[in-house]
């Protein structure tokens, strides 16, 4: 009787061992992907296929178990932010640049709301504010509305417990820049119930907070 059940039990243990070995392999593979692609991003922001899942079964499941979805979304948003600031010398390149900026705005907005890490929410809000302020300088018709959105993004980042310094700096400086333009800065201070006042040194120019 014992021999009768020994073989299935051994098979189950072998299967479990294979599953654990595969999971360990994927954990190590994901670690290598994140580490190596972070370096690639710093040295070559336009490098293709950054932070893609490693090969092999269980890669997506391991990503979920490790909680890497938010990390990858944030990294993708930063990459799109950088691509949105690259120079364009042709219509095709300019179209790609504008598309990257629009996609960056969407991912950054998602990050400010859904990301569990305070420092990533703060950094995303800061980058979003920079993009919105840059866009406000490009079109007069929606300039004030985009400026208000930028201020609110900076204020949101400034309220975070971690990584809020850049957003606070840019919030204070943008309020200073907009103060002579009809009291927009004062209105935002009232809208934010005091959050926007006295929080930081001051947005030198777009891109400084990055």
CB burial string 142-178: b at 16+ within 10 A, e below: ebeebbbbbbbbbbbbbbbeebbbbbbbbbbbbbebb
- What was the pLDDT predicted at 6? 52
Per DSSP, the residues of 104-169 read HHHHHHHHHHH-S-HHHHHHHHHHHHHHHHHHHHH-STTHHHHHHHHHHHHHHHHTSSSS-HHHHH
Predicted confidence band of residue 18 (pLDDT cuts 50, 70, 90): very low
As a whole number, the mean pLDDT across the chain is 79
- What was the pLDDT predicted at 53? 83
Q: How far apart are CA 12 and CA 44, in angstroms?
A: 46
- Are 160 and 168 in contact, with CB atoms under 8 Å apart? no
Q: How far apart are CA 189 and CA 183, in angstroms?
A: 10
pLDDT digits (tens, 9 = 90+) for 103-158: 999 999 999 999 999 999 999 999 999 999 999 887 666 788 999 999 999 999 99
Cα–Cα separations (whole angstroms), residue 113 to 99, 102, 143, 149, 170: 22, 17, 24, 15, 20
- Are 76 and 89 in contact, with CB atoms under 8 Å apart? no
């Amino acid at each position: 009787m014992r021999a009768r059940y020994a073989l299935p039990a051994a098979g189950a243990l072998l299967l479990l061992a294979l599953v654990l070995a595969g999971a360990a392999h994927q954990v190590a593979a994901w670690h290598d992907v994140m580490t190596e692609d972070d370096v690639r991003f710093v040295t070559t922001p336009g490098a293709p296929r950054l932070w893609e899942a490693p090969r092999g079964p269980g890669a997506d499941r391991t990503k979920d178990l490790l909680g890497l979805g938010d990390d990858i979304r944030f990294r993708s948003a930063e990459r799109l932010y950088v691509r949105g600031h690259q120079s364009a010398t042709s219509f095709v390149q300019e179209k790609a640049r504008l598309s990257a900026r629009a996609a960056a705005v969407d991912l950054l907005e998602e990050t400010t709301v859904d990301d569990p890490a305070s420092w990533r929410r703060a950094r995303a809000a800061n980058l979003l504010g920079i993009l919105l302020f840059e866009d406000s300088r490009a079109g007069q018709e929606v300039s004030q509305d985009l400026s208000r959105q930028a201020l609110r993004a900076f204020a949101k980042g400034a309220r975070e417990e971690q990584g809020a310094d850049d957003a606070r700096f840019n919030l204070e400086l943008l309020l200073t820049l907009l103060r002579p333009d009809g009291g927009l800065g004062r209105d935002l201070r009232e809208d934010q119930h005091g959050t926007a006042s006295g929080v930081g040194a001051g947005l030198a120019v777009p891109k400084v907070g990055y």
